[in-house]
Amino acid sequence: MNIIVTPDGFLSWPEERLCCAIGRGGINLDKREGDGVTPVGCFPLRQVLFRLDRIPAPLTCLPMRALEPPDGWCDDVRDPAYNRAVTLPYPARCESLWRDDGLYDVIVVLGHNDDPVVPGAGSAIFLHVARPDYGPTEGCVALAMPDLLRLIAICDATARLCISDHP
């Protein structure tokens, strides 16, 4: 199943079309670390991470793991763990996946820049929970929590998030 994201802020699959948030830099083929761009391409859905202290384990056929407070993601282009999960504290620059704002209560790790990892080509590109106003992300795609849960419930290992720079 291909899940399509377009620059006008919509995510769709054959049965549904939903509002989504994209990067503050829009959608572009040339993704660079820190540019706020959502990358063009089709990316497998690698894993679902979720806050078990906030929601029950979601229904999905995707690999799944509950987040823990020390979970982080390395975004330091000079570090060997760049664009990889790490345990905090970590000596290089990272972001915490254990957030207070609820945006990472459910995270779908996308297969962007991970096979192989290219330093500087973008890290931590996720599908996650949107802000109530669908404000822009740092390069991820975000959905309202009920929409995200509904989507991952129908996904399996063949699902791909396809981000297009055309409406």
Q: Where are the domains of the chain?
A: 2-163
Would you state the pLDDT for residue 39? Answer: 98
Would you state the pLDDT for residue 48? Answer: 98
Amino acid type, 92: A
Integer Cα distance of 64 and 60 in angstroms: 8
Q: Does residue 150 surpass a pLDDT of 90? A: yes
Contact present, 8 and 17 (Cβ < 8 Å): no
| CATH superfamily of domain region 2-163 | L,D-transpeptidase catalytic domain-like (2.40.440.10)
| pLDDT tier for residue 43 given thresholds of 50, 70 and 90 | very high
With 0.95 as the threshold, say if the pTM is over it. Answer: yes
The tokens 């407070």 sit on which residue? Answer: 69
Burial class (CB in 10 A: 0-12, 13-18, 19+), 150: middle
Would you state the pLDDT for residue 2? Answer: 97
